């Protein structure tokens, strides 16, 4: 064990390649919510997508669960600097939900039960990069973490993964959501450290 191996160890400590700049790994799963966690009975739950023409696509819990389901393995990165590597989820790809949606909009606002909103470019929701997830680690998603279902967009900071998701409103312009109106970045790519605007 000489200079070479300690140098190697130092480099590994300085940068796990799975961790975006300024992030550290956590084993736990912190709960971060602005305000109380809403309680949504499954028979009242709905997921919608609305477009610029006023068209509205909507799924009940039953019709949502009948869609093709995906198992997702992803690293998640909170802007407050914790990351969890290799988390596992189950849910429906936004590609499936957008199959019959016609739009020329380039942006989306995710609306949550309870009033939370967050904005994303539509393209960040498509291409196998975003899901409506209802299970975590093989169990129903806990209410504190967004159950019955939350948006999961792991390639962006975790504030974009709206808990208690109710629907997606498509918009022509990029309209700041809750945290984005309070100084967070409009886009939120952790690899570019798009933390604040």
Ligand X SMILES: Nc1nc2c(c(=O)[nH]1)N[C@H]1C(S)=C(S)[C@@H](COP(=O)(O)O)O[C@H]1N2
Using the contact rule CB under 6 A, the part of the chain among 39-47, 85-93, 111-119, 125-133 near ligand X is 111-119
Dihedral sign, Cα of residue 58, residue 64, residue 67, residue 72: positive
Pair of tokens at residue 40: 């949504």
Q: Pick from 109, 119, 161, 171 the residue near ligand X by CB under 6 A.
A: 161
Complex with ligand X: residue 92 or 133, whichever CB lies closer: 133
Pair of tokens at residue 159: 């504030």
Complex with Mo ion: residue 69 or 81, whichever CB lies closer: 81
Nearest residue to the partner ligand X, using Cβ: 116
Q: List the Cα angle 19/21/22 in 5-degree steps.
A: 100
Complex with ligand X: residue 10 or 22, whichever CB lies closer: 22
- Of residues 34-73, those binding ligand X (CB under 6 A): 34
Structure letter (DSSP) for residue 173 = S
Backbone angles phi, psi at 122, to 5 degrees: -55, -35
- Of residues 73-92, those binding ligand X (CB under 6 A): 78
């Amino acid at each position: 064990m000489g200079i070479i191996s300690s140098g190697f160890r130092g480099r590994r400590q300085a940068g796990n390649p799975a961790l975006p700049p300024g992030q550290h790994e956590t084993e736990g799963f912190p709960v971060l919510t602005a305000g109380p966690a809403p309680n949504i009975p499954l028979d009242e739950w709905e997921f919608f997508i609305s477009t610029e023409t006023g068209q509205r696509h909507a799924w009940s819990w039953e019709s949502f669960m009948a869609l093709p389901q995906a198992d997702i393995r992803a690293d998640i990165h909170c802007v407050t600097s914790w990351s969890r590597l290799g988390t596992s989820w189950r849910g429906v790809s936004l590609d499936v939900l957008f199959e019959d949606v016609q739009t020329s909009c380039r942006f989306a606002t995710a609306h949550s039960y309870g009033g939370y909103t967050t904005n994303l470019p539509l393209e960040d929701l498509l291409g196998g990069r975003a899901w409506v997830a209802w299970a975590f680690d093989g169990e129903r998603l806990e209410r504190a973490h967004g159950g019955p279902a939350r948006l999961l967009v792991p390639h962006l900071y975790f504030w974009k993964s709206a808990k208690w998701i109710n629907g997606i409103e498509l918009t022509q312009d990029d309209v700041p959501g809750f945290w984005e109106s309070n100084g967070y970045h409009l886009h939120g790519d952790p690899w570019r450290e798009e933390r604040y605007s």
